[in-house]
Structure 1
């Protein structure tokens, strides 16, 4: 098959840090255009926004949306109506209703829609999923704490409604847990800490339960400096299973099993190529559903103001 001709919309930090290199390293897909208000890229067609891109007449097959979730629905809708396959950076949208509407539109248009969860592509996730399917899970505890000033310097959109706040990284943890858990679970309690001057939380404590009574808890915090913490600890009757470093390392019964370099975005683009070639979509929105539930059940605490 011929290579997929791809355009990126939104040439910001995540696109430069992850997407560009992953596309270059992936067979079957070629970057031919970008659309960005404030940036250009040598060697490809450049446009100011998706509407100018789509009206240009250049031949593209697919669009990867790397813009903030607010306003992404209109971009994805325009791409699908123009008969382009669409890849969504996480989170896939700002609301539950809009992502399900996009899923229905993709089906109607006969185009592939890929709601990506890059943390699910970390090296230890699938081995952990297989292992936990063979064990009796007792409890799960997530500790996902990082420094927002390091990872999102000057990015005001993350503090606005729809930007998710600390759930921008926290949804990565939820994407892993929803993948590795042998059964579904639902939220029972949520405590959210909002800076006095921000519209999105800087920390969250969540409690979930599964139908069989497995306790799942999560601590998310954006105020941690120094070493960052991205750990998921699963207690099973047969012994502990721990994913660390964002899911790239696996410890089973205290012994390291997997330590591997980051290939998350390369895996995403390989999967996108396979989806387009097979005429399929991949639209698991469950991590976003859990985040929406956290806001619905959230008890709001006001904490000190945050200044970037």
Structure 2
């Protein structure tokens, strides 16, 4: 199969840290252009906007959109209207309505669209899903805590409406849990700790349950220092399953089943190549819906101002 010519929209931290290395190592994609008003890559055609890139590279087959969420709807619409396959960095939009509009447009145009939940491609996720599918689940505990100063330095947009605050990493945990659990679950209550100078939470405590009232507790915190915590524990009739290190380590009933190097973004681009080739979409809004529910039901508590 010949390589897929792809353009990258937004050359910020996530694009430099993850998308560029994944595209560079992929046998399926060839980066031919970028769209960013502030950044150029040596040896790659650079444009100030997506519109300019689409005009300048009319044979482009796909675009990966890595801009802040409030920009993604208009950019994805433009790419789809030009007949391009679209990969959306998580979350796929600022609102559920935006994503639904894009999904409908992608279907009308026959263009593949991929809501790319990268954490679902962590090494232990698929095996965890298979093991849990045949077992009775008693309880789930999620602990997702990291240092915002390390992962989002100088990124003030994360504290503005649409930036999601601690749900920017927290949605990664939700993307895994919605993938590995065999049935849907629902938010029952939430506490959101919002700094006095911010619009989005720096920490959150969430209580979910499924139709069988299985308790699911989640604790998200952006104030973690030292070692970072990305753990999910599921108690079942046959013992505890633990996905730790963001899903790179799988332990079942005290035995290490899998411990592998993280390759989320390369695996994610492998899947996108399959979607582009097969002309199909993969758009799941369940993680974003849970975040929207948290903002809807959550009790807000004002905490100390955030100072970077």
Name stretches of at least 5 consecutive residues in structure 1 with no aligned partner.
Answer: none
Q: In the alignment, what sits opposite 1:302?
A: 302
Distance in 1 separating the partners of 2:239 and 2:63 = 44
Alignment of 1:124-273 (within 5 A): 124-273=124-273
Per the TM alignment, residue 55 of structure 1 is displaced from its structure 2 partner at its CA by 2.3
Distance in 2 separating the partners of 1:57 and 1:136 = 52
Structure 1 runs of 4+ off > 6 angstroms?
Answer: none
Q: Deviations for 1:244-299, whole angstroms, at most 9, x for unmatched residues?
A: 00011011111111110011000111111110100100001100000000000010
Distance in 2 separating the partners of 1:43 and 1:58 = 19
Per the TM alignment, residue 14 of structure 1 is displaced from its structure 2 partner at its CA by 0.6
Distance in 2 separating the partners of 1:164 and 1:230 = 18
Instruction: Give TM-score scaled by structure 2 length.
Output: 0.99
Distance in 1 separating the partners of 2:37 and 2:191 = 37
Instruction: Give TM-score scaled by structure 1 length.
Output: 0.99
Paired residue secondary structure (1:169): helix
1:98 pairs with 2:98: yes
1:16 pairs with 2:44: no
CA-atom RMSD in angstroms: 0.8
Distance in 2 separating the partners of 1:285 and 1:73 = 14
Per the TM alignment, residue 60 of structure 1 is displaced from its structure 2 partner at its CA by 0.5
Distance in 2 separating the partners of 1:59 and 1:45 = 14
Distance in 2 separating the partners of 1:10 and 1:149 = 21
Aligned length: 308
Paired residue secondary structure (2:212): coil
Name stretches of at least 5 consecutive residues in structure 2 with no aligned partner.
Answer: none
